Amino acid sequence: MSSAGGLSRRRVAGASSSSASDDAPSPSWTPNGPSSNGTVVTHAGSAFEGGSKVACDPRDLDQVEEDSRYGGRMPRLTIMEEVLLLGLKDKHGYLSFWNDSISYALRGCILIELALRRRIALVKDSNQRRSPLADRLVEVIDDKQTGETILDEALKMMKGQETDRMSINGWVDLLSGETWNVMKIGYQLKQVRERLAKGLVDKGVLRTEKRNFLLFDMATHPVADVRTKESIVTRAVSLLTATTSAVPPSALDKEGTQCRVTRAVCLVCAAYAASVLDNAFGRLTYEDREAAFQRCDEILAEFACWPFGSTTATGTGGGRRREVVKIGMGNTNPSGRESVLGLVQEVKREMSGEEDLSFQLIAGVLEVLSKLDSLL
């Protein structure tokens, strides 16, 4: 008979009426134990103590092995996605129509990301040392897929071109469609910005909306996860406003991320080349903004050469102009090259030896990005 406020337990034949027997487990219920007829009952795939099998995904073991081999786990967002987020307007969800640099810079970020994931590197050839860094040949050292659609597509094209290898500058041009060779036009990666935005929608960082622009409708991608973008802005600002040789923890990704310092350097340099770094400096004063741009100029100059930190130049044209502006404002403090060299030492700790060919490729890409204004 059921109670007024709850459920009643249904009694079956053979069940004991005592409460003690109801609470005590039956021997036939044990995961691994003898049954009433003497046979042993086992359950394959049981997670109980003594179970014979536990289900697992072999890909998880491969991922753990890959993380240990490459010095940490892969970040949630790629460098291309972080640069795109810095350029997007939070509420409107689209890039500036006047930005001609970001498309070229994103193709360079693809090469940087593949190099950081140890998929591509420069060809190991003593004769290549005589060539400029951006003109050295690129080879695929691991064609295993990364799980990122755009990276895997670029890696597949580079693997198919192994018989006729191309330089860093050549690959950036081909991926951007900047070529007069009609036989190579198929190497262009199309709709990179839109595909990256859709990938960020899948990751929950952006959302998709339709916006009317007078004559046509266009899909826009406003920011849905504000914290993710704020963390990227904080990392960029912390790195570029630091005045000491020590890298501030707030400028780096989460602990355990692969090549945290190198990724932070590549983020600010790529954002600077893509002309989206201004969006991260909204809360800084005019003097702090100029100082941050000057430091980014110095970082790019030190990492756009090999070995890192071996430059003798004072920076790019924009950096020299800002130096004149600082002197005109009465600020004659020396440049922060000493603090940048401290950053160089932290990056070298993440390298695999003094002649890391993947990091040499990164230096070559940064050299190409440092000359982006003259190329466009």
Q: Is the pLDDT of residue 111 over 70?
A: yes
pLDDT at position 27, please? 47
Q: Kindly report the pTM of this predicted structure.
A: 0.79
CB atoms within 10 A of CB 31: 14
**Weakest mean pLDDT among 47-51, 79-83, 103-107, 240-244:** 47-51
Q: What is the DSSP letter of 108?
A: H
CB atoms within 10 A of CB 304: 24
Per-residue tokens: 222: 């406003």
Q: Is the pLDDT of residue 190 over 50?
A: yes
User: Looking at the DSSP assignment, which residues form a beta bridge with residue 206?
Assistant: 223
CB atoms within 10 A of CB 197: 23
* CB contact burial 261-280 (16+ within 10 A = b; e otherwise): bbbbbbbbbbbbbbbbbebb
pLDDT tier at 62 (50, 70, 90 boundaries)?
low
Give the span between the Cα atoms of 70 and 52, in whole angstroms. Answer: 33
Per-residue tokens: 125: 């050839």
Helix (H, G, I), strand (E, B) or coil at 257: strand
- Name, in order, each residue with C-beta under 8 angstroms of 116's C-beta and a sequence gap of 6 or more: 79, 258, 259, 262, 263, 266, 358, 362
Per-residue tokens: 141: 């050292």
The residue with tokens 């930005």 is 99
The residue with tokens 């339709």 is 210
The residue with tokens 């890391």 is 356
Q: Is the pLDDT of residue 261 over 90?
A: yes
Q: Which of 258, 357, 257, 366 is nearest to 309 (CA)?
A: 366
Q: Is the pLDDT of residue 19 over 50?
A: no
Select the more confidently predicted residue: 38 or 235. 235
The residue with tokens 């890192």 is 308
What is the torsion angle, in degrees rounded to the nearest 10, for the CA atoms of residue 235, residue 239, residue 240 and residue 243?
A: 140
pLDDT tier at 132 (50, 70, 90 boundaries)?
very high
Stretch 6-14: mean pLDDT: 51
User: Looking at the DSSP assignment, which residues form a beta bridge with residue 121?
Assistant: 139
Select the more confidently predicted residue: 191 or 336. 191
Q: Which of 57, 101, 56 is nearest to 83 (CA)?
A: 101
Q: Is the pLDDT of residue 316 over 70?
A: no
Mean pLDDT for all residues in the chain: 81
Question: Could you check whether the bond before residue 248 is cis, i.e. omega within 30 degrees of 0?
Answer: no
CB 274 within 8 A of CB 101: yes
Portion of the chain with pLDDT greater than 70, in percent: 73
Per-residue tokens: 73: 């786990």
Give the span between the Cα atoms of 367 and 371, in whole angstroms. Answer: 7
Q: Which of 247, 240, 201 is nearest to 342 (CA)?
A: 247
Helix (H, G, I), strand (E, B) or coil at 166: coil
pLDDT at position 6, please? 52
CA distances (Å), origin 75, targets 214, 243, 256, 269 = 39, 27, 9, 18
User: Looking at the DSSP assignment, which residues form a beta bridge with residue 211?
Assistant: 218
